[in-house]
Structure 1
Amino acid sequence: MTKEFVAQSKQRLDKYLSEALGESRSQIEQLIKKGYVSVNGLVVTKPGFTLKPSMHIHITLPRPQETQNKEVDFEVAKIYEDNDILVINKPAGVVVHPAPSVKEPTLVDWLKKEGIRLSTISGEERHGIVHRIDKETSGLLVIAKNNEAHLKLSEQLQDKSMGRYYLAIIEPPLKNNIIVDRPLGRNPKNRLKMSIIEGGREAKSAFAKIFESKNSKYELIAAKLFTGRTHQIRAHLASLHRHILGDRLYGFKSKKDTIPRVFLHAYILYLRHPRSGKYLEFVAPLAQDMMQFLQNNFDQEKLDEKIHPHNVVSLFDFSSGVWVTADST
C-alpha cells in the first residue's frame, strides 16, 4: 500500500506526516528511519528533514510483522473497558513486551488472545500499549483499542495530562517527603540496573510518606513520576539508600526469602478519555501478597484510611511546604 502527498509549506517531515496520517510522531519516526519514505524520488531517513512547498512525498506502507503466539497461563483483571480503551491491573511477574530473551508468555500474548491488535504504520506488530511497567511491578495500564485512541493517549503521556500514583513498601523509612531530580542511565558495572549518571536522561520523582510499620522498620510510601524512565522509582529510591521490599536488584536483602517479588504497585491512573475528553480516574486493588504483608505488619485500623485514593492523591500537594529536594547536583 502506498500514499502520496504534496507539501504546502515549509515544515519538518515527521511533523507533516504525523498530521497527514493521524499517527504518533514515534510511529512516523520509525517509518522514516526504516526507509519507507521518499521525497522527490529520493529516500529520506531523517525525521527532521525540512520539506519545502511543492515537494512530493511518497510512502510505502509495509505489511505488519506478526509474531508467534504463546499459550497464556495467567489471568489479567479488567478494570474498565469500552470501544476505545481497556484499563487492566497487570499481575506481578508478567512481562509487558516480548523480546528474544523472554521465553514466557507476555501481556502482548494475552492481548492477542483477547483480540486486541492495532494496525501499525512502520511494520511492527503492536497492541495499543501506551506505557509500561516492570515485570516485577503490578498495577494499572491503559491499552488503546484503536489508532485514534492510541494517538490521543500518547499525546497525553507526552504533555503529562495522563499519569499514575504508585504504592511501595520500603526499608528504612524516609526522613521527609522528597523530590528526586537526578539523571538516570545504565549502570556501567551492571547493565541490568539503572543508576544516577552524569549526562544521563532527565528523571524526576516524588516520594510521599504514608505511614510506618508497627516496628518502624518498614514504611508504606506513595510515588509520582514526572518522567518515565526505566526502573525510575527503584533507582531513585536506591540513590536515597532506600529499597523496595523484594527488590534484590537494587539492594533489598532477605535472609528467609519470604518476599518473592518487588512490592511496587501502580495504584491510581488518571487520564482524559481519548474520544469524549472526560477526566477519568481508576484504582487497582493491591495484590493479595502485598496486602497481606501490610495487614501483618502495619496498623490495620489505619490501613484503609491511609490507602484511600483521595488521601494518596492529596499527599502530592507541592505547595504544602513539607517537601525537600534532592536535585541533580
Structure 2
Amino acid sequence: MTKHGTLGVAVIGTGRMGADHVRRITEVTSGARVAAVVDIDAERAKQLAGRIDGCTAYSDTAAAMADPDVDAVLIASPGPAHEAALLQAFAHDLPVLCEKPLTPDAASALRVLEAEQRLGHRRVSVGFMRRYDAEYLKLKELLDSGRFGRTLMLHCKHRNVATPPGFTNQMMINDSVVHEIDTTRWLLDQEITAVTVLRPTPSAAAPDALSDPQLVLFETSGGSVVDVEIFVNCGFGYQVQCEAVGESGSARIGDGHAMVTHSGGRWGGEIDQDFVTRFEEAYDREVQRWVDATRRGETEGPSAWDGYAAAAVCEAGVRAQATGERTPTGLVERPAFYR
C-alpha cells in the first residue's frame, strides 16, 4: 500500500523513455505523481525535476529510493543498470515497473528472480507494453476463447523505418524481436523451446555489417510454430503485425485498423510511423494499470519470470543468428512462485 494518498514515483533514467514516462505520470496518469527523477546526468535530472512541483532530482538511485516521498519505482535506465536498481528497490520493498529488458542476460535475470523470491512476494512488473495494446488484447481474448481451436502458427512482422548509428545484429534480437518473444509466450501461454534465424541477402538500405532483414523462427512447448520478419531499415514506416492461424480460423492485427477475421468462408472486421506513437495508448494503459494495482497493494502484469524467459530466448536467438543452427532455449524450470 502507498504511504500517501497519491503514489509517489521515482523515475530512474530520464532519457527518451524515462522523460516520456515522467510526462505520462504528470499529465495522463491518475493517482500518481513524480516524486523523484534520477539520472547520472545530474543537470538533466535537475532541469526535469524543476518543471514538476514537489519533485526532487538525484544522481544516485539508492538515495532516491530512500526518499520518504517515494512509494514506487519506474526503471527506464539502460538495461545494464537494471539489476542494481532492482536489488535496491527490493531492499526498500518498493514496487517496480521495469522497462524491458529486465536485465540484459539470463544469468542476471535469474539473480533478480532469486532476490524477489527471498522477499516472499512479487514486486516487479516488466514493461512489455504490447500486452496493453487494444489490438493485442483483442487477439489474446479471441485465442483464449478457443473459437478457432488450437493456435497452430503465428506470423509476425516487425518493421522500423531506419536504425540509429551503431545498431547491431544482436540488437535486432535483443531490442526488437524481444517484443515478439514476449507476445508469443503471452498469446499462446507456452514457452519458446528453440530458435532458428535465417538471413537472406541484406537489403541495399542496410548499413554495413548489418544483416537486414532476417527471419526468426520459434518452436513452442505446445507444438506451435512462429515466424517473425524483422526488417529494421525498411524505409517506409513502422509496422507491427501479427496473424494467428488456428484450426478453424485466423485473425490478424496491425493493419492500421481493427482486427480482421477469416472463418467459415467469410471475412470481416472493422475499419477504424515510431514505436512511441504506435503504442502510446498501450504505454498509457500499462502505467495506469501498474499505478492502480500498486495503490491496491498488488502486483500484476508481466513478471520477473517473463523478463527472465525473454532474456533466455534472446540469448538463444543471438546464438542461432551467429551459427545459422536451430538453438534450444534451455530455460530453467519455472519456480512455483511465478505460477
> What TM-score range do you get, normalising by the shorter chain?
under 0.3
More helix by share: 2
Using structure 2 for the length normalisation, give the TM-score. Answer: 0.26
Please identify the structure whose Cα radius of gyration is greater: 1
Choose between structure 1 and 2 for higher RCO, CA contacts under 8 A separated by at least 6 residues. Answer: 2
More strand by share: 1
Using structure 1 for the length normalisation, give the TM-score. Answer: 0.26
